[in-house]
Amino acid sequence: MNTNVSAQSQSNNQPFVLPPLTPETIKRARQGLEAAQLLKAEAIVEKSLHQTEAFIQNKSNLKLRGWIRWLLIHTVIHSLFRVKVESLDRLPKQPVIIAPNHLSHIDPFLILSEIPDQPYYYILGDARSLYNKFWKRLFLRFSGGTIPLERIWKEEIAVLEAAKAGEKNLTELAAAIEQDVPKGNSIQSLRRLDQIVQGVFAQKKGIIIFPEGRLGFQEGQLFLPLKRGTVIYALKTGVPIVPVGIIGTRNLYLYKELTIRFGQPLTFPQINRPKPKDIKIALETLEAAIFDLLPQNYQEPDELKLFSDFLNHMLW
């Protein structure tokens, strides 16, 4: 079964679409399953959430962790790439929600390498992308600062749908996905996540959230519709959102210039129970703000692309 695909939508009314059932889609679903089984076996997500909750409850001083984390990431990033930062002065000194577009798994580390180490910022992101390599697990366990999301991937949903439609060669893989891949949509897990986010802001810390919810396909474009979580947190807490445009990370190579553009903070009225209309308005505002920070006609530089394959896959 081949499902329809829409690499980039240009409207928040764009329906949910799945990737086509290609060998690459099936391979990605198998990788996701393996990562889910690893995280489950080692209880990595639970340990990370418990660590974050402990930081919040104990009101831990994260100054030293934040400085060491910044120093390590800044050193690595600047040894591999040339980084251009525009309008960093737009980032308030008080904690906000930083909301960038998303082209590469390097994006959260790129952001952390250029913003001040204080206030301390957490990364809210896909658990299997954050912890899929040993060295990433080791670094993040030491530095903390992650709020992992457990969710099923579109590639996995495509496999499940294909198996239901009669693709017998995918029956075993689909059964394993059903058994071992967490959906992340239980009331209990959502409430826990909400409590953690509320606690982070109560401790005057910030969060980096990628509202696309996955990697985009093309420079200068957004993967739409944006996920609602970013603006729901902003509406519930009254914390401003700072839109960010990341340029150049879709195709990495040694000493490439990567650009980070910070937008003006977006402030929305605090609403304890935001209505669909409130969420829609906030999402449209955020979408327009991020899109304005992206290049209209991006051209990949015509230069030697050293270590491209390694740098593009080192965080996968």
Task: Answer whether 133's CB lies under 8 Å from 44's CB.
Answer: no
- Cα separation, 298 vs 72, in Å, equals 30
Residues of the chain with pLDDT > 90, as a percent, come to: 67
Looking at residue 138, what is its pLDDT?
A: 81
- Say whether the peptide bond before residue 119 is cis (omega within 30 degrees of 0): yes
Confidence (pLDDT) at 4: 31
Neighbours of 58 (CB within 10 A): 9
* Residue stretches of the chain with pLDDT short of 50: 1-15
Per CATH, the number for 63-151+185-313 is: 3.40.1130.10
- Tell me if 98 sits within 8 A of 244, measured CB to CB: yes
Determine the 3-state secondary structure of 262 from DSSP: strand
Please, what sign has the CA dihedral across residues 138, 141, 38, 43?
A: positive
- What pLDDT, on a 0 to 100 scale, did the predictor assign at position 3? 33
Tokens representing residue 124 in the block? 């809210």
Task: Pick the closest to residue 249 from 166, 293, 308, 289 (CA basis).
Answer: 308
3-class SS of residue 247: strand
Q: DSSP code of 99? A: E
The pLDDT assigned to 2 comes to 35
Going across the sheet that includes 146-149, the strands are 82-86, 257-262, 241-247, 97-100, 206-209, 121-126, 146-149
Residue 269 and residue 135: Cα distance in Å, rounded? 41
Residue 297 class from Cβ within 10 Å (0-12 exposed, 13-18 middle, 19+ buried)? exposed
Phi and psi at 122, nearest 5°, equal -90, 155
From residue 213, alpha-carbon distances to 21, 216, 226 in Å are 20, 9, 7
What are the distances in angstroms from CA 138 to CA 37, 135, 162?
Answer: 18, 5, 36
